[in-house]
Amino acid sequence: MGLEHKTKMFFNFASSITPKEIFYLFTYTLLSLLLPLSFLLLAKISEAQYYLQRFSFWNQRYYYSSPQHFPYVLTLALYIIPFILYFILIIITIVSLINAFTGKITILSDSSYSSTNFQPRIYIAWILLCVFQVCVGLGIEGSILVGLYDSDYSFGVERSFLSRVVFLLGLHETTRVWARMVVRPVLDDTVLGGVVRKERWVERVCVALCLGSLWWWKLRDDVENLVVMCEAKKEQLMDVGINDFVGWCLYYLTVIIGMVKVVKGLLWIMAMVCPCTREMGISLVVPGDNDDKV
């Protein structure tokens, strides 16, 4: 009966879909993917900073040359944009971590921005989304100009597949919080004219599939640069910057969120299995008691 109901809901949604719904779904998916794309961008920028710092370190040590001046686009992509992205990502990750532990955050509820008293939240979501999109766009453009995405460096340290999957779970939860906290209020205010609606299953599926594809294609290997960079710089006696430390914290906070989701999933499975096994045990014991009495 449950499968038939879900199948009926799917056909009803497919038959009643409109161009506005398609535009909403497409825009919602793209804007939600800004967060995992920022992780990929920061990993590539961290990799570029490492090699530039290493080149400058050895160049000044052995050749005593003057420091190089980089183009404005490269300076913007390497030093200014990461600071803004790290600041926004740390806030979203901390909110996601609190929500993963408690599951009760008022700003993530659908009714929290439906009242006119909470219009400032929509304005803040607009500002965050615009700043985030500009930073990611300029950062990717600057990274492509210097050929970062054509490079494939390896630091000799690889995480296990299980740790990568846990990070993916944490990143998926963080992406959902980003979508509910920033993307959805903006789209509801713009596309739907202020009408607030709950998240649909098709939106969850599209975001999850696109995130999984991005992770499998590029993110699962490159995002580890955020955490490996500190270890590589310490081994080579290089200065560890604040960006490296924040990237390290950001990676492990996301892993902790994934571990919380795994533990909650295991507890839910145990809560579902234990009553079933108890009922099976009762059904097996009762006939035996009756036979003894007879």
Residues 59-94 have pLDDT tens digits of 444 444 444 455 555 666 677 888 899 999 999 999
| C-alpha pair distances (Å), 140 with each of 28, 37, 121, 225 | 20, 9, 28, 17
Tokens describing residue 34: 């800004």
User: What is the Cα–Cα distance from 46 to 139, expressed in whole angstroms?
Assistant: 12
Of 159, 205, 207, 253, the C-alpha closest to 35 is 207
What is the structure's pLDDT at 160? 79
Residue 112: pLDDT band with limits 50, 70, 90 = low
| DSSP per-residue codes, 79-120 | IIHHHHHHHHHHHHHHHHHHHHHH---GGGSGGGGSSGGGHH
DSSP, collapsed to helix, strand or coil, labels residue 206 as: helix
122 in Cβ contact with 113 (< 8 Å): yes
Residues of the chain with pLDDT > 70, as a percent, come to 69
Of 263, 254, 266, 260, the C-alpha closest to 101 is 260
Length of the chain: 294
What is the structure's pLDDT at 56? 63
> Model confidence over 190-221: pLDDT tens digits?
887 777 777 788 889 999 999 999 998 888 88
- Winning range, highest mean pLDDT, from 29-43, 44-58, 135-149: 29-43
What's the distance, Cα to Cα, between the start and end of the chain in Å?
40
What is the structure's pLDDT at 272? 81
pLDDT, the chain, mean: 77
Could you give the angle at the alpha carbon of 148 between the alpha carbons of 173 and 154, nearest 5°? 75
Does 153 score more than 70 pLDDT? no
